[in-house]
Structure 1
Amino acid sequence: MTEPLVFPLGHPMGPFHPSPGAPPSYWVVRLGWDSPLLHDRATADVWALAHGLPDRVHGTPWTRSVCRSIALEAGVPDLDRRLDGLVARGLVAEVAPGTPAAEQFARTHRVQSLLLGLGAQPDAPGVDGIGLLGRPPLARVRPDTYEAWQWAHLWPTLFDAAAGLADMAAQAPGATPEETDPAAVLHRLLSQLHTLLSGNAVYLDRSLAVADAARG
């Protein structure tokens, strides 16, 4: 089986400094209705690394092995132990696209879009930018990924988003079977998510149903 992709869950809220100029005491993540804490810099670095690196995610499946290699390069200790801890806490998920587990993940999580659409990039035909006005794009993606960034947040789960995007494609002339098959769209969406995550153009969250159940 192909090695699963590593996905960070939650929206980073930044470090907490107990006083001006003091080092962070912890890092805050917003996940569903909760605000779990990352209690040391190395764990926060591993969670951040799970988003991917913008200059390396294109064409590179973002797996535990890739994260381990980069952590070694950067001197981040105990990658596997820290990643296992984040998985146990529900702050990271390991998902192999095209598997039943991937469908279950998609049925219980949603994608939330961030930043602004910058459209086609004049220096790179076939590439769209996402970022802040007046600045270089933070994410540079294919048009189909850009379309997912535009629309996927409107559905309650990733599974529903894939079905909705497939239905949208079916209404366009010349659509291919792969573009109109929800399972194929979900596979593509999961496989391309790190090009968006690495630029903070999206974050992954629990579905509202799961978040409400956790709160209750």
Structure 2
Amino acid sequence: MTTVIFPVGHYTGVLPVAIGAPNHVVRVGMKQHRLTDVEFGAWMLTHGPAEATAEPWTRRRMTAEATRLAIDLPPDLLDDLEARGLVFSIDPADPDVAGVARGYRLEALMIGLGDTAEQPGHHRIGVPEAGVVAVLDPDSYELWQWAATTPSLWAYCELRSTVTSSDDPRSAADRVFQDLRTLVAHGCGYLDVVR
């Protein structure tokens, strides 16, 4: 079993320095959290690498990346962020994946910019005039496009299983969490709590 880590919340910006630290603001549900620079750096690291990788984004990998980038990551910081609801950990093979997935939902960011001529069936996501942020495979694009229409990630897994008769919701969850990593790492969406 491999426990992976995900950020929760929508970054809404930096408050003026005159207001005082902590001044990075992340909204989770209806609550705004103010983060210090160190907390914000750790929260950003939980998004994972934008480049494709087969390795799951675990705390261990994240800690190694923080060391490589010379980012301060105090030992208890991730536990603190998780206790505050800004991070969650999940093992997609855990029997209670449905319980965890019922507590979160994906909110899409960016705009669909159409298929690519070089990779038919793959979809560009970004901002018109500013450029493409990511090119998504069909499954990731489907998640980006439809997850926000469902009340939770688990409801999306149930929807996905009805569309693809080869999957049940439990087996669909593993792929959904892989696709989530792509979307979150590229900023195509963010995870929020179910309200």
- What is the TM-score with the length of structure 2 in the denominator? 0.91
Conserved 8 A contact 2:48-2:57: yes
The equivalent residue for 1:94 is 89
* 2:24 is the alignment partner of 1:27: yes
Paired with 1:141 and 1:59, the residues of 2 have a C-alpha distance of 16
Paired with 2:118 and 2:91, the residues of 1 have a C-alpha distance of 33
Paired with 1:155 and 1:118, the residues of 2 have a C-alpha distance of 22
The equivalent residue for 1:211 is none
Conserved 8 A contact 2:105-2:153: yes
Paired with 1:127 and 1:59, the residues of 2 have a C-alpha distance of 19
* 2:179 is the alignment partner of 1:192: yes
Give every structure 1 segment of 4 or more consecutive aligned residues whose post-TM-superposition deviation is greater than 6 Å. Answer: none
SS at match of 1:137: strand
* Aligned residues: CA RMSD: 1.9
The equivalent residue for 1:5 is 4
Task: Give CA-to-partner distance per residue, 1:30-87, whole Å, 9 cap, x none.
Answer: 111111111x2111011011111212x4423111111111100111113532112111
Q: Residue 182 of structure 1 is aligned with which of 155, 158, 169?
A: 169
Q: Give the 5 Å matches for 1:66-105.
A: 66-105=61-100
SS at match of 2:192: strand
Residue identity opposite 2:77 in structure 1: R
Paired with 1:50 and 1:84, the residues of 2 have a C-alpha distance of 12
Give the CA deviation at 1:126: 5.1
Conserved 8 A contact 2:139-2:179: no
The equivalent residue for 1:14 is 13
Task: Give CA-to-partner distance per residue, 1:15-42, whole Å, 9 cap, x none.
Answer: 11134xx98642111111111111x211
Task: Give CA-to-partner distance per residue, 1:106-158, whole Å, 9 cap, x none.
Answer: 01111111111123223445532211123432122211110111001101111
Paired with 1:84 and 1:113, the residues of 2 have a C-alpha distance of 27
Q: Residue 154 of structure 1 is aligned with which of 135, 142, 149?
A: 149
Q: Give the 5 Å matches for 1:102-113.
A: 102-113=97-108
CA separation of 1:23/1:122 partners in 2, compared to 1, >3 Å: closer, same or farther?
A: farther
Residue identity opposite 1:203 in structure 2: Y
CA separation of 1:102/1:27 partners in 2, compared to 1, >3 Å: closer, same or farther?
A: same
The equivalent residue for 2:34 is 37
Conserved 8 A contact 2:7-2:87: yes
Paired with 2:41 and 2:118, the residues of 1 have a C-alpha distance of 32
Residue identity opposite 2:102 in structure 1: R
Q: How many residues align?
A: 195
